[in-house]
Structure 1
C-alpha cells in the first residue's frame, strides 16, 4: 500500500492507541481547531512523510513505541517502521502558536468557543518562540476572535511587531478584515491562510453564521496580488455535506486564483459530533481532483514554507504525500 493510500485509511479513523514504552513526551494538545481541548495527538513519520493522529485507547490503529521515538505503526495487515516526532509548538519543526484560544463566533464544526481559552500576550508568545528557536524551520500564527475581527487583527499585528524579524519564515492564519492582507504583508509575513472552510457559500452560511464567504474570497484575491501565487492558502473542510462536484469546483475556484487549497478531513466535534469522517475512497478521490487542479494552475505544495501545507500531518497533500 502506497503512503497516501495508507494515510487515507489513517485519516478516516483519525486516532491511534499507543503501546510499548512511555510516549508522553511526543504528545501535543491543541488550543485551536477541531482538536482543541481533546486528549492530545502525536505525529508519526516514515521516510519523511507524516500523519497526525489523536490518542484513543480503543483505536484500531496501534503505534508501538520502542523507545527514543522509534516506532512501528500497525493497522490490519499493514506494518510501517517510522518515528514519533516531538512537536516544537503544536507540530514538528514549527512554532505554530494560537494567539487567542477563544472565539466570539460559533462555527458548527469548531469546539474553540466552548473551551473558554485566553489571549496570550506578545511577551508570552516571544518567550514561547525563544524556547524552541533551535528546533523550528517556520513560525506560524493563528487565532480565534476574542472581541472583534478588527481587534484580533490588531492583536496579531502587535505580536508580529513584538517578535520582530525572524530567521525563519512567518505564516499567519486569521479571519481577515478588509485590509488584513496589506497589513500582514507590510509586517514581513511570507505566507497567509484565510479559510473558506466550506465548499459552497450556502454551506458556509449554514456552518459559520455571521461570517462572510465572499469577504474571505476577496481577501484571498488581495493576498495573491501581494504575496504571490502559491504563498496563499485556504482550508476547505471535507465532510460538511458537500458533493464531490462541489468540492472539485471549490478547489478549482481557489487554484485558478493562485491559492493552494488545504483539504481538511472533518473531525467530528462541537455541533457536528454526530457527523462521520470522510471514508478513505473519498479522501483519495478528492485528493486526485486536488492534484489535477494544482497541476493545471502550476501550483507546487513543496514550495510552502509555513503552516499546514508545510506540516502535512492532518491532510493528504499532493506533491508532498505523493507525486
Structure 2
C-alpha cells in the first residue's frame, strides 16, 4: 500500500547531509540526520534494545544519537533498505552512510525491572515498558473500534495483545508497583499512559487517570494520560483533580478527508470537538501541558496540516508532529513513510510558529512531547534559534 504524502515541499539547501558539517559538532547536521532517520529508518548490523509490534513506537530501535533521544524505525521495509546503518564500536555504536561515520549513538540497556514479576506471576514488562527514559503503558489493551469498520488504520493496539506480549487490563496497583521499580532500578523520569477507547461518555479517560494517579502517589513520577475527547468535557476536570500533569488528546490529522479515511470514529467526533476539548484541557493543565499527535504521510494536505497546528498552538496545545510509523499487523503496515524533504518543511513551519508563540518542549512535564524521541520538531525548533550556518544556508 502506498499513500501519497501530499505535494512535495522543497527545503532548499538543507535537503541533504553536508560533509563539512558533522552531527557530532553541529546541531544543524544532527537535526537533519534525525529527520532523515525517522523517515528512512536504520539498518542494523548489531543488536540493540527494540520495541516490536503493537501500540507505541513500534518496530523501532531506541537510541541516543549524539546524546539526543531518538526512536528510529528498524523493522520496516524502508528500514531494511535504508542508506543508514548502525554498527557496533568499541564504545557504543556508530551511524554510517556510504561508509562515512556520521554520528555516535548509545543504546538503551534492557531494563532491570523486566526481570521482575507481580505476586500473581505477571512479568512487569507485560504491564509497562521503558521507552528510553519514560515508562509507558496501554492500560486497557482493547478498543471499541478494533476489528470494526471504525478501526484506526494506523493503530496496532490489538497486535500486542494477540501476540501475548501484554495483558488486557492493567490495574492501578500493578502500574504503581511497576513504576516504583522502573524509577528505582532504571531511572524512569516520567510515565505515559494511554488506553483503547470506550463507548462511554468519558471514552476511557477516568480509568487511565485513576491509573496515573496511582503511579504519582506511589512513585512521585510526573504523569501524562492520553484519551479521546470525552463527550462530557467536565471529565477533563475530573482528570485534573486526580493530579495528572499532562494530557494527550490526539486528533492524528487536521485534514478532514484523511481523518475520515484513517480514523472514521475520530472523524465523527469532529475536529471542532477536539478544539473544544483542548481549550478545556488547557484551562485545567496549562499551556504546553496538552498535546496532540499530528501524523504526516497519510495523504494529508500540508496547508491544512500547518493551519491546524497553528490554531492548536494559539490556544496553548503542543502539536506533536511525527512521520507515520507503519505498524506490522495494522491496516497501514505497508505504507511508505514520507520523505525527509516533506516532513522537514512542515516541521520548520510548525516550529517557527511555536517559537513565536513561546511554546517549547522544555516546559512539558510528562509524556511524548516531553520525551521527543519520536519527533524531530524540537530539534528543528532548537536549530532555528541558533541561526544560519556560517557561509550561508540554514
TM-score calculated relative to the size of structure 2: 0.73
The CA deviation at 1:115 is 4.9
* Structure 2 CA distance for partners of 1:66 and 1:148, relative to 1, 3 Å: farther
Higher strand share: 1
Please list every run of 5 or more consecutive structure 2 residues that lacks an aligned counterpart in the other structure. Answer: 1-16, 18-28, 112-128, 146-150, 163-167, 386-394
Matched, 1:109 2:169: no
* Segments ≥4 residues shifted beyond 6 Å: none
Match of 2:108 in 1: 85
Matched, 1:8 2:35: yes
TM-score calculated relative to the size of structure 1: 0.88
Please list every run of 5 or more consecutive structure 1 residues that lacks an aligned counterpart in the other structure. Answer: none
SS at match of 1:254: helix
Matched, 1:195 2:250: yes
The CA deviation at 1:124 is 2.1
The CA deviation at 1:94 is 1.3
CA distance in 1, matches of 2:209, 2:370: 23
- The answer to whether the Cα contact below 8 Å between 1:100 and 1:146 also exists between their aligned partners in 2 is no
CA shift digits 1:277-320 (9 cap, x unpaired): 11011111011111111022221122222111222221112357
Could you tell which deviates more after superposition, 208-217 or 193-202?
208-217
Could you tell which deviates more after superposition, 3-12 or 200-209?
200-209
SS at match of 2:51: coil
Match of 2:220 in 1: 167
Match of 1:121 in 2: 171
Match of 2:139 in 1: 99
Question: How many residue pairs are counted as aligned between the two chains?
Answer: 314
Match of 1:250 in 2: 308
CA shift digits 1:203-241 (9 cap, x unpaired): 222221123133222111101111111111111111111
Match of 1:138 in 2: 190
The CA deviation at 1:34 is 6.6
SS at match of 2:265: coil
- The answer to whether the Cα contact below 8 Å between 1:43 and 1:51 also exists between their aligned partners in 2 is yes
**What is the CA RMSD across the aligned residues, in angstroms?**
2.4
The CA deviation at 1:164 is 4.7
- The answer to whether the Cα contact below 8 Å between 2:95 and 2:104 also exists between their aligned partners in 1 is yes
Larger of the two Rg values belongs to structure = 2
CA shift digits 1:68-90 (9 cap, x unpaired): 7x111113334211211237533
CA distance in 2, matches of 1:151, 1:232: 17
- The answer to whether the Cα contact below 8 Å between 1:17 and 1:63 also exists between their aligned partners in 2 is yes
The CA deviation at 1:16 is 3.0
- The answer to whether the Cα contact below 8 Å between 1:290 and 1:318 also exists between their aligned partners in 2 is no
Match of 2:366 in 1: 306
Match of 2:125 in 1: none
Aligned ranges for residues 231-242 of structure 1 at < 5 Å?
Answer: 231-242=289-300
Could you tell which deviates more after superposition, 155-164 or 277-286?
155-164
Match of 1:278 in 2: 338
Matched, 1:71 2:93: yes
Match of 1:183 in 2: 238
The CA deviation at 1:112 is 2.0
